[in-house]
């Protein structure tokens, strides 16, 4: 039984993709363009957005617009939403994909680096959700499509070496998505949580260790589209890796911490 209303028909569906200039976001935009979605792409990089929009048009998109914004500025969400309401009259699906990452051990933390990551990965999502929810709830009350998706990470399943800020930010997003689902699903708003494993992007290129079950952004996009079609609450992939990470959550701390140190080489 699906927890959300399955999204398996994309023709004409209005999608706002926040964090759509590169990586998973750009690949997902192209995948949805091929399926006939109407797309609004947001990110800080205007050049990256234009490049992604052109790729979407090459894949058949006839309605794709770019809306540069900074998720750390609440007013930017309101400005883009106002533009989309004027253009489309509503948005069927909002995907919160914007994020940042830097490998950090505990002794490398600074107040500035902590705020930089949390403002983008966590506060920006809260601001975005608060901005779009009145619109989505109104659409749901009218029986229209209304959905949001939050991109977390398997790094939020358990504490990991080199993820002293990134991991907690993603753990908070997982909890947020669960809270949103409990509140919003009964009111007709679908909530999807997307937890990727390792995906080859500019951000993961900063990792100096072996990344098991590494996927391309295009493979990640197809897994996300498949999850939408199934109406899953949590869309996680690649599943042989993500299930192993889920098992780590269930192990006693002594065993889990020992395994993580051994597997990641973070003995010191």
When the pLDDT of each residue in the chain is averaged and rounded to a whole number, the result is 93
Provide mean pLDDT across the span 225-230.
Answer: 98
DSSP lists the bridge partners of residue 96 as: 18, 150
Q: Is 102 helix (H, G, I), strand (E, B) or coil?
A: coil
- Assess whether pLDDT exceeds 70 at residue 268: no
DSSP letters, 121-139, are: IIIHHHHHHHHHHHHHHHH
Sign of CA dihedral 154, 160, 165, 169: positive
Residues tagged active-site: 166
Peptide bond into 138 cis (omega under 30): no
pLDDT band of residue 203 (cuts 50, 70, 90) is low
Other CB atoms within a 10 A radius of the CB of residue 198 amount to: 19
Long-range own/partner contacts, residues 77-85 (CB < 8 A, 24 or more apart): 77/127, 77/128, 77/131, 77/132, 78/131, 80/16, 80/40, 80/42, 81/16, 81/131, 81/132, 81/135, 84/14, 84/16, 84/40, 85/135
Q: Which CATH number fits domain 14-264: 3.30.310.80, 3.30.420.40, 3.30.70.20, 3.40.50.720?
A: 3.40.50.720
Determine how β-strand 64-66 pairs with β-strand 147-151.
unpaired
At residue 38, φ and ψ (nearest 5 deg) are: -95, 130
Task: For 237-256, write each residue's pLDDT tens digit.
Answer: 999 889 988 998 899 999 98
- Assess whether pLDDT exceeds 70 at residue 204: no
d(CA 16, CA 37): 10
Quote the percentage of the chain above a pLDDT of 90: 79
Range scoring the smallest mean pLDDT among 151-165, 211-225, 226-240: 211-225
Q: Are 179 and 130 in contact (CB under 8 A)?
A: no
Token match 């989505």: residue?
136
- Assess whether pLDDT exceeds 70 at residue 164: yes
Count of residues making up the chain:
268
| Residues in CB range of 25: below 8 A, 6 or more apart | 17, 18, 19, 41, 43, 52, 95, 97, 98
Provide mean pLDDT across the span 9-36.
Answer: 96
- Assess whether pLDDT exceeds 70 at residue 266: no
- Of 57, 62, 55, which Cα lies nearest the Cα of 21? 55
Strands of the sheet with 14-18, listed across from one edge: 64-66, 38-42, 14-18, 93-96, 147-151, 190-196, 234-237
Residue 202 has what pLDDT?
A: 66
Q: Where are the domains of the chain?
A: 14-264
Provide mean pLDDT across the span 144-161.
Answer: 94
- Assess whether pLDDT exceeds 80 at residue 114: yes
Residue 263 has what pLDDT?
A: 72
Task: For 47-90, write each residue's pLDDT tens digit.
Answer: 999 999 999 999 999 999 999 999 999 999 999 999 999 999 99
- The four Cα atoms 34, 36, 41, 46 give a dihedral, to 10 degrees, of 50
Sign of CA dihedral 237, 242, 243, 249: negative
């Amino acid at each position: 039984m699906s927890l959300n209303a399955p999204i398996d028909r994309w023709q004409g569906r209005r999608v706002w993709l926040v964090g759509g200039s590169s990586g998973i976001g750009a690949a997902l935009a192209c995948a949805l363009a091929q399926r006939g979605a109407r797309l609004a792409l947001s990110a800080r990089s205007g050049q990256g957005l234009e490049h992604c929009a052109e790729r979407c048009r090459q894949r058949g998109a006839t309605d794709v617009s770019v809306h540069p914004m900074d998720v750390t500025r609440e007013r930017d969400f309101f400005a883009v939403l106002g533009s989309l309401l004027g253009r489309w009259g509503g948005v069927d699906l909002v995907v919160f994909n914007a994020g940042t990452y830097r490998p950090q051990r505990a002794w490398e933390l600074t107040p500035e680096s902590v705020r930089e990551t949390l403002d983008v990965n966590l506060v920006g999502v809260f601001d975005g959700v608060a901005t779009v929810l009145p619109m989505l709830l109104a659409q749901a009350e009218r029986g229209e499509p209304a959905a949001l998706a939050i991109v977390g990470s398997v790094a939020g399943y358990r504490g990991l070496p080199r993820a002293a800020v990134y991991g907690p930010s993603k753990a908070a997003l997982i909890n947020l998505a669960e809270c949103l689902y409990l509140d919003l699903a009964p009111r007709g708003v679908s909530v999807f949580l997307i937890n990727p494993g390792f995906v080859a992007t500019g951000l993961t290129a900063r990792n100096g260790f072996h990344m098991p079950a590494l996927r391309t952004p295009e493979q990640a996009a197809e897994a996300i589209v498949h999850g939408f079609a199934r109406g899953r609450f949590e869309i996680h992939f690649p599943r042989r890796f993500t299930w192993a990470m889920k098992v780590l959550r269930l192990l006693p701390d002594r065993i889990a911490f020992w395994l993580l140190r051994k597997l990641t080489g973070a003995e010191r």
